[in-house]
Structure formats: structure tokens, C-alpha cells
């Protein structure tokens, strides 16, 4: 894979991670006075007394998770398009 494609997939993964983590029904989880942001792993925690926590491992996991999904989709689309070109 080319470096440009890798950068695009990483940027797309980061943007997706940020957007998904603020969607109320998907990325925000409530536990009493606590709120946790992130999907599938928690990235940011906001507590009732105003303190917060940042989970770096959750952020890395989410980035890798979405990167792998976009990588698989990219390979699938390129394979399908090459088969369609050969079919004609």
C-alpha cells in the first residue's frame, strides 16, 4: 500500500473516531453522574465533580479498529473494481 493511501486511511480513522465518540446513542455512555465518550473503547471520561480522564489506549484502539475496517473496505472495493474491469 502506498504511503498516501495509508495517510488517507489514518485521517479517515481519526475523523470517524471523533465523530462516533460524540454521537449520543453510540459513543456516549452514562453511568450515574459519569459520562464516557468513545466507541468501541472509551476515549474520554467526564465525572460529576468536573474532573476528567483521557484514555490514550482507548484512542489508539479506536484508531486501529477503524483503520482496519477502512483498509478491508478499500481492499474489497479495489478487488471488486478490478474484477469488473476484467469482466468487460
pLDDT tens for 23-59 read 988 889 999 999 999 999 999 999 989 899 999 999 9
Determine the length of the chain. Answer: 88
Q: Tell me how many domains the chain contains.
A: 1
Q: Which residues pair with 30 in a beta bridge?
A: 35
State which H helix or E strand residue 70 sits in.
Answer: helix 56-87
Answer whether 36's CB lies under 8 Å from 45's CB. yes
Average pLDDT for residues 1-16, to the nearest whole number? Answer: 91
What is the structure's pLDDT at 1? 67
Residue 83, pLDDT score: 85
pLDDT, residue 8, reads 94
Domain with 10, as residue range(s), is 3-87
The burial of 38, by beta-carbon neighbours within 10 Å (0-12 exposed, 13-18 middle, 19 or more buried), is given as buried
Residue 79 has pLDDT above 70, yes or no: yes
pLDDT at 84 over 90: no
All residues at 6 or more sequence positions from 67 whose CB lies less than 8 Å from its CB, including other chains: 9, 10, 13
- The pLDDT of residue 68 is 96
Amino acid at each position: 500500500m502506498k504511503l498516501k493511501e495509508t495517510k488517507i486511511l489514518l485521517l479517515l480513522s481519526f475523523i470517524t473516531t471523533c465523530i462516533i465518540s460524540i454521537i449520543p446513542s453510540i459513543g456516549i455512555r452514562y453511568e450515574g453522574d459519569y459520562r464516557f465518550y468513545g466507541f468501541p473503547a472509551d476515549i474520554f471520561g467526564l465525572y460529576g465533580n468536573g474532573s476528567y480522564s483521557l484514555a490514550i489506549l482507548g484512542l489508539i484502539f479506536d484508531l486501529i479498529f477503524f483503520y482496519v475496517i477502512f483498509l478491508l473496505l478499500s481492499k474489497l472495493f479495489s478487488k471488486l473494481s478490478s474484477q469488473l474491469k476484467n469482466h468487460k
